[in-house]
Amino acid sequence: MVCITFSEIGVGYTTSAVSGISIHFYDNGIRNMLINNYNYLEFRQNKGALWENYLLIERWKHNHYSDHNVLRYFWRTYDHAEIDYIEKVD
């Protein structure tokens, strides 16, 4: 597995942007290779994206290995405000 996707929640609500997906890489090294950026963290412009990816993947691993069946979503408004992660438990 290289990456996982999250669907956008809230499609059809007036505050929701056009539906989309959020892609997160299982390994930040693969992500770094694809964007050709191996700089140290203190020199990177995308620190927030790296931490977001790391935390969301660790949460996914926890749920997967604990056999928690959850649906993963994110929320983005038309003015690009965003909630990065929403879990819905079955």
pLDDT digits (tens, 9 = 90+) for 11-57: 444 454 555 778 888 888 888 998 899 999 899 998 998 998 899 89
In contact, 25 and 52? CB cutoff 8 Å: no
pLDDT digits (tens, 9 = 90+) for 49-70: 899 889 989 999 999 999 999 9
Which one, of 10, 5, 39, 34, lies nearest residue 22 by Cα?
5
Which one, of 52, 46, 66, 64, lies nearest residue 24 by Cα?
52
Question: Which helix (H) or strand (E) segment is 87 a member of?
Answer: strand 82-89
pTM: 0.74
pLDDT for residue 14? 45
User: What are all long-range contacts of 61-64, with beta carbons under 8 Å and residues at least 24 apart?
Assistant: 63/87
